[in-house]
Amino acid sequence: MKTLEYIFQFLVFPGFLFSVIMGLATGWVDRKVTARLQWRAGPPWYQNFVDILKLLLYKETLIPQGVSRAVFLGMPIIAASAATLVSTMVLVINGAPQTGFIGDLIVIVYLMMIPAVAIMMGAFASANPLASLGASREMKLMLSYELPFILCLVVPIMKSGYAIRLGDIIASQSQGAWIIASPSGVISFCVMLMCVQAKLGFVPFDMPEAETEIMSGTCIEYSGKALAIFKISKAILLFIIPIFMITLYFGGIRLDFEGFVKNILQYVMILVLMIVIKDTNPRVRIDQAMRFFWGPVTVAAVFSAALAFLGR
């Protein structure tokens, strides 16, 4: 019975189906807010669903000559399943904080890296010079943002009494104050926002798939169903990463009415903040991004960790 429950949780709620629907709806919010910021009308609410259905149902899936089919077609599935696992774990632990295990935060951090690695492998497998250029940029970007990302995770861990269970972090915030209500929490949250921007491949850190420059780089050879599954995995990450940040800094999802309304407001705030950063910045070069992440951002992350160690 337990197995069936896990399979249901993974595939339907709160796993694959729910996350995909919410992720595509979030993607529409992204497109609509972008359009309004540029003084345009923007697409209707069902636009992302139509795009995905078109790719899944009606478009051909082309495979380039001389390509390993297993790697080329397997990588989208790995990316989507890792993203689904992240969303299932974060949402289930938010629903029932006792269900986690020791070190689930570390597992989630590793699982969040897998979509980027899968995109990289798929791009290298697709036998296209622009795709491998995009993949090499993705690799450099990953090396640069993972360091501050993991450093700024130290703050919630220290603040909740050295807990590496997500459930313990939620529990410590439900008794005391939110982690963002402290100087170290604010700095760590800002650092996390920058890293998440790069993790999601948003402008200013979208060099791996720079459309105007290397023709959507990592995804250039993907079409039809494989492209749809890559888009689905990105949509799931777009949906789950703000919730992950709410879990770490705002005390997690509350199931009572007042708490849930606050959660929605926090979610919209984080999402709109990311979209506004995306829309008001130009794309930077990969060396600028690397200098940015290893310079000021890492220094800020170390500073926030030191503040947290001192108990601020």
Q: Which residues bind other proteins (CB under 8 A)?
A: 31, 35, 38-44, 46-47, 50-51, 53-54, 57-62, 211-212, 215-216, 219-224, 227
**Comparison of 120 and 180: residue with beta carbon closer to other proteins:** 120
Q: Give me the least distance between CB of 60 and other proteins, in Å please.
A: 4
Q: Give me the least distance between CB of 67 and other proteins, in Å please.
A: 13
**Comparison of 122 and 156: residue with beta carbon closer to other proteins:** 122
Q: Which amino acid is at 32?
A: K
Instruction: Give ∠ CA 219-128-232 in degrees, rounded to 5.
Output: 15
Q: What is the dihedral of CA 252, 254, 255, 259, to 10 degrees?
A: -150
Q: Give me the least distance between CB of 59 and other proteins, in Å please.
A: 5
**Comparison of 225 and 254: residue with beta carbon closer to other proteins:** 225
* DSSP annotation of 98: G
**Comparison of 36 and 312: residue with beta carbon closer to other proteins:** 36
Q: Give me the least distance between CB of 28 and other proteins, in Å please.
A: 11
Q: Which amino acid is at 249?
A: Y
Q: Give me the least distance between CB of 33 and other proteins, in Å please.
A: 13
Q: Give me the least distance between CB of 226 and other proteins, in Å please.
A: 10
Phi and psi (nearest 5°) for 194?
A: -65, -45
Contacts of 292 (CB under 8 A, 6+ apart): 144, 284
Contacts 24+ apart (CB under 8 A), 169-177: 169/105, 169/247, 169/248, 169/252, 170/93, 170/94, 170/97, 170/247, 170/251, 170/252, 171/97, 173/250, 173/251, 173/252, 174/251, 174/252
Alpha carbon of residue 69 to chain centroid: 27
Ramachandran region, residue 232 (left: φ > 0; alpha: ψ -120 to 50; beta: rest): alpha
**Comparison of 25 and 215: residue with beta carbon closer to other proteins:** 215
Q: What is the largest CA-CA distance in the chain?
A: 59
Cβ(99)–Cβ(167) under 8 Å?
yes
**Comparison of 37 and 277: residue with beta carbon closer to other proteins:** 37
The two three-digit tokens of residue 112, written as one number? 């969040």
What distance in Å separates the CA atoms of residue 60 and residue 54, rounded to the nearest whole number?
A: 10
* DSSP annotation of 284: P
Q: What is the number of residues in the chain?
A: 312
Place of tokens 């929490």: 185
**Comparison of 226 and 286: residue with beta carbon closer to other proteins:** 226
Q: Which amino acid is at 38?
A: Q
Q: Give me the least distance between CB of 77 and other proteins, in Å please.
A: 18
**Comparison of 54 and 285: residue with beta carbon closer to other proteins:** 54
Q: Give me the least distance between CB of 124 and other proteins, in Å please.
A: 17
